[in-house]
A and B are shown apart, each in its own frame.
Chain A
């Protein structure tokens, strides 16, 4: 029997340390910037979002995790007022999105999954346009654009047409546009989908920096490692329903903090969850000598699979 300590353990420990930085990691804050009750949205007979309740604490990074088609984008479109609710209520930063749409919009910045910049304009023109949509006075407009271009490191590209930029730079330009009016909450729909590893890590750094400066982050993703690297709390969504919500540690504890992963005589990889490493070791001692066994910390992928019966990739 080979017993391995997973390489990801160190990363996981580092992650645990990181989440501990947040004042909201225990979900204890009552200052909620997003309060959603019974949010429902149907398309014909299909219920895309099914009666979900949502609380996002001010200052946290909140991840909405689920496979493609689970209802993540529809939910984010509802929260950002781009899609109408069929029933339920949503209050963003104290503004009801139906009765005070303009107040709610003024509090939020949104980075959509697909780059939604105007490709007929240059990068700087797109920024000016966004600043105008958010009614920034002319002197402040220039100042904010200069500040953010410097902050994101886009200064070389501001006079380029949008289509001349790579995916990562387009995403950074979209981030500048979304931040011009200093939103209190930033929504990111699949922020790193389609980006290479380097660009992805740069976006993660920007998200962390923004959060440290006080911006609440709501992001959807189907990348487990993204949720683990960034989020203080996550919600799992599947078939329009929230399956579980909490800090990554809470969710992992719910399933069992330690995972034994082994390849058994049936030629299948099996996963068994234990509340302590001691119990996991006891179980490993009962396995056959030829089984390949890994003992590791439970991760969000394990939680998702265990709670929904499917992987975040959608299978």
Chain B
């Protein structure tokens, strides 16, 4: 177990070093979009609106935190891995080390988890300054960690599937962008038509938004949402192990 943890650290070390070199850029990139969403939707459109018994700003902050987990964790992991794999080819150097595949998959997700958590915490802290209805609870922190890990593992899947930088953009446009606007960030998915709701329940951000909102607003917590998020994380993890095992030249 200790050996396994050491391997994970060894894999993550260079990525964290890279993050240290680019910290300011990281924060600007991770926070710009969520802050704009917060201003435009929270202050611009949602002032005075009550949604599901709370102010709209309190309603959307957990959703925007979930969205931040998605965008920061996914993009930091996928773009770094994509560059390492297709341009620097330093990914091969890691694959040449005598490391377990499980250590590689988890180790490569750490950058996304750390960046995601930093960005989420900043957005949530801003949200708490804007409204007193939000609660910072251990359950909320757990939901944040699971979300960041799941989306970081999804970023790895995208990077391992990508054959070019262009195919990464295609993946983001087809999978990430629809999730951004549809998975309950800005409105309750209960208001969507039945068929679309079915589609949205097949996407991980829906469960991330739901579990974060429930835990941050003190609503009754549905364990099923968190369990589904964990299930998505496990599925992405297994997909990554499979892709590493069967990769082609």
Q: Is B90 close to A, CB under 8 A?
A: yes
- Which residue of B has the minimal Cβ distance to A77? B249
Q: Is A258 close to B, CB under 8 A?
A: no
- Which residue of B has the minimal Cβ distance to A116? B89
Q: Is B55 close to A, CB under 8 A?
A: no
Pick the residue among A82, A126, A135 that contacts B92 (CB under 8 A): A82
Complex-state Cα separation, A64 to B94, whole angstroms:
25
Complex-state Cα separation, A121 to B97, whole angstroms:
18
Contact with B along A277-308 (1 / 0, CB 8 A): 00000000000000000000000000000000
Complex-state Cα separation, A82 to B249, whole angstroms:
7
Complex-state Cα separation, A103 to B98, whole angstroms:
7
Q: List A contacts of B22 (CB < 8 A).
A: 120
Contact A80 B96 (CB under 8 A): yes
Q: List A contacts of B18 (CB < 8 A).
A: 118, 120-121
Q: Is B88 close to A, CB under 8 A?
A: yes
Contact A133 B99 (CB under 8 A): yes
Contact A118 B96 (CB under 8 A): no
Contact with B along A113-141 (1 / 0, CB 8 A): 01111111100011011101111000000
CB A107 to nearest CB in B, in angstroms, measures 9
Q: List A contacts of B6 (CB < 8 A).
A: 135
Contact with B along A240-283 (1 / 0, CB 8 A): 00000000000000000000000000000000000000000000
In the complex, 23 of the A-B residue pairs with CB atoms within 8 angstroms, ordered by the A residue number, are A80-B96, A82-B249, A84-B247, A105-B98, A116-B89, A116-B92, A118-B14, A118-B18, A118-B93, A119-B90, A120-B21, A120-B22, A120-B88, A121-B21, A125-B14, A125-B17, A129-B93, A130-B93, A130-B97, A132-B10, A133-B94, A135-B7, A135-B98
Chain A residues with a Cβ under 8 A of chain B:
43, 74, 77, 80-84, 102-103, 105-106, 108, 110, 112, 114-121, 125-126, 128-130, 132-135, 177
